[in-house]
């Protein structure tokens, strides 16, 4: 069952468990690496489902502007996914918490949301950035995700629906309980 919270502003925030590549939304966020070369985890799944055009575009972006730093976001077309655009953001690698990880993780959510708004998207689906291979502890990562999205929404008024797509049960439970508390 999806947990749905409707904010005072009319924006809905939903938590679902599943595969983000199967989702229908205007925009899907990818937890990319700085080279934008595709990889494992959700990045690999998105590239496989989108098709080879995505890697070609990502390589062109990286060739044009260099590596994408952690906390930043870039946009590509959606190719074979059921979305208009893919927002590629680079999460921080967890190094114990004293290396600016929290700020960079919050920035991933904030910049992705602002970029989606600039692109004219109305709905945006996020995976649980950095909580796989990059090792960010799931609870603080979920707290940062929810807080950063709520804080950035007033600056992205075109966005009316945000989805947190949790792959594993632990993240799903964490997000559900975070959105239950005021
Ligand atoms: P990172 O390198 O940012 O940690 P990962 O892809 O390793 O990226 O993991 C990020 C999160 O994405 C993890 O919580 C992982 O379980 C989840 N994930 C992996 N595959 C998918 C998928 N197909 N759809 C949604 N989430 C996924």
Residue 155 has pLDDT above 80, yes or no: yes
Q: Mind listing the pLDDT tens digit for each residue in 108-122? A: 999 999 999 999 999
* pLDDT of res. 182: 57
Catalytic residues: 43
101 lines ligand 1 (CB under 6 A): no
CATH assignment, 2-180: 3.40.220.10
Atom of ligand 1 nearest to the CA of 168: 16
Which residues make Cβ contacts (< 8 Å) with residue 126, sequence separation at least 6? 29, 109, 112, 145, 149, 162, 163, 164, 165
In this structure, the strands spanning 73-77 and 85-90 are antiparallel
Domain boundaries, the chain: 2-180
**pLDDT over 70 at 3, yes or no:** no
Q: Is the pLDDT reported for residue 1 higher than 60?
A: no
| Burial tier of 104 (Cβ tally within 10 Å: 0-12, 13-18, 19+) | buried
Q: Average the pLDDT over 126-140 and give the result.
A: 98
Question: Which pair of tokens denotes residue 129?
Answer: 């950035």
Compute, in angstroms, the gap from residue 30 CA to the centroid of ligand 1: 9
Distances (CA, A) of 67 to 52, 105, 156, 159, 178: 20, 17, 26, 28, 33
- What does the mean pLDDT of the chain come to? 95
Region for 30 from its dihedrals, namely left if φ exceeds 0, alpha if ψ lies in -120 to 50, beta otherwise:
beta
pTM for this model (two decimals):
0.96
171 lines ligand 1 (CB under 6 A): yes
User: How many separate helices (H) and strands (E) can be counted in the chain?
Assistant: 5, 7
Nearest Cα residue to atom 13 of ligand 1? 132
């Amino acid at each position: 069952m999806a947990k749905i919270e409707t904010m005072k502003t009319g924006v809905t925030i939903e938590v679902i468990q599943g595969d983000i590549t199967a989702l229908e939304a205007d925009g899907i966020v990818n937890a990319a690496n700085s080279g934008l070369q595709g990889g494992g985890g959700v990045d690999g799944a998105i590239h496989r489902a989108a098709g080879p055009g995505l890697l070609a575009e990502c390589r062109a972006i990286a060739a044009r502007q260099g590596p994408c730093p952690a906390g930043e976001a870039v946009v590509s077309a959606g190719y074979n996914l059921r979305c208009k655009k893919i927002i590629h953001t680079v999460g921080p690698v967890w190094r114990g918490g004293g290396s600016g990880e929290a700020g960079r993780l919050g920035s991933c959510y904030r910049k992705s949301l602002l970029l989606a708004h600039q692109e004219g998207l109305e709905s945006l689906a996020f995976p649980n950035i950095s909580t796989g291979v990059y090792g960010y502890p799931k609870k603080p990562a979920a707290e940062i995700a929810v807080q950063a999205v709520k804080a950035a929404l007033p600056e992205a008024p075109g966005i009316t629906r945000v989805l947190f797509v949790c792959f594993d049960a632990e993240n799903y439970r964490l997000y559900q309980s975070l959105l239950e508390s005021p």
